[in-house]
Structure 1
């Protein structure tokens, strides 16, 4: 059974920080693949800055094209809204449970609020969490400190944000080094975030 890490996000746009983390996970943990699960645009929250689902999917596809262990996933595009991680996991388990075992990738900042997630106990019961370091305030709840299903991975600290990229691209700054080359080309050709 193949061990897959699920990396959830809007990836608006995907940047080198996302790639560094995902690649680190498949090279330096027991995960064999990482799937970028692109969060669809919520029909309830139309955010001007959020590109259409297919454009964000296309950019993730471009970013991972040369990394055979990294995949783009549209699995949440067809699930009911709003998307809760537990529902996506249940769906994936039913659909692919024989072939794959699924774990979650999350930043340390998310772990601090994990107890507020819908059915977080059920998530931990059925899945492992692979946590990468983030510079953030707050305290990790003690129940997660030495949990047998929570694995801290000593990945590089990547403090690049998609928000920073969008804002500064719009302001005319050169943000090209923060993006995989193919993503930069797509974004530039489509004139996104201007």
Structure 2
């Protein structure tokens, strides 16, 4: 095991935009693409961890991504340097790790706890540039360049207009949601999820 991609999120719900990122990562030279399901309980409108995990498993289908392999997955924590520490303990210091972030996540990278540890261990970052954030690109680039020793790459997701917020609004309004796989939509319908969804998540 030499190279891992670590992709985290609330996946509330998992949609085609998320899966496009997984497909991209799977096409690269990573030995594993690890999906870390976050459990940020302070966010309004966040459905249960088990429901999001079930939807994520359905959405991933046969994709080569790891969801349940590591003990830290059961803790459902937000991605941080301690997750990377766990991976180094498993695979050794020679492991190469890239953390995958969207524009909203990478904007605050300079405020991350443990960023110095990540930079010291040559952890890289993959910036997924999604629609709706292009106007901030130069500002984000300037901030990233100001962080010494930061290794990152930019990936533009073409024609990715899928939004979890929009999907939740459509479901709450009993409209046909755009960007969900049929198994995920069937699960949402069966379990009556997002009926009173908040627009803020």
What TM-score bracket applies, with the shorter chain setting the length? 0.7 to 0.9
By how many angstroms is 1:101 displaced? 3.6
2:101 corresponds to: 106
1:163 corresponds to: 165
Q: Retained in 1: the 8 A contact 2:38–2:79?
A: no
Q: Does 1:37 align with 2:33?
A: no
Instruction: Give TM-score scaled by structure 1 length.
Output: 0.81
- The 3 A distance-change label for structure 1 pair 59 and 142 is same
Q: Retained in 2: the 8 A contact 1:131–1:150?
A: yes
Q: Deviation string for 1:28-55 (max 9, x for gaps)? A: x32243222100243xx2x452111111
Q: Deviation string for 1:115-156 (max 9, x for gaps)? A: 111122322332111122123244125363496621223443
Q: Find the residue that maps to 1:30 and give its secondary structure.
A: coil
In 1, the alpha carbon distance for the partners of 2:118 and 2:159 equals 25
By how many angstroms is 1:113 displaced? 2.0
Provide the alpha-carbon RMSD of the alignment. Answer: 2.6
1:21 corresponds to: 21
Q: Find the residue that maps to 1:153 and give its secondary structure.
A: strand
Q: Find the residue that maps to 2:13 and give its secondary structure.
A: coil
Q: Retained in 2: the 8 A contact 1:15–1:162?
A: yes
In 1, the alpha carbon distance for the partners of 2:54 and 2:30 equals 24
In 2, the alpha carbon distance for the partners of 1:142 and 1:99 equals 30
1:55 to 51, 55, 63: 51
By how many angstroms is 1:185 displaced? 1.3
How many residue pairs are counted as aligned between the two chains?
Answer: 186
In 1, the alpha carbon distance for the partners of 2:66 and 2:97 equals 14
Show the 5 A alignment for 1:54-73. 54-67=50-63, 69-73=64-68
Instruction: Give TM-score scaled by structure 2 length.
Output: 0.79
Q: Retained in 2: the 8 A contact 1:64–1:72?
A: no
- The 3 A distance-change label for structure 1 pair 167 and 23 is same
Unaligned ranges ≥5, structure 2: 196-201
Unaligned ranges ≥5, structure 1: none
Show the 5 A alignment for 1:101-180. 101-126=96-121, 127-134=123-130, 135-136=132-133, 137-138=135-136, 139-140=139-140, 142=142, 144-145=144-145, 149-156=151-158, 158-175=160-177, 177-180=178-181
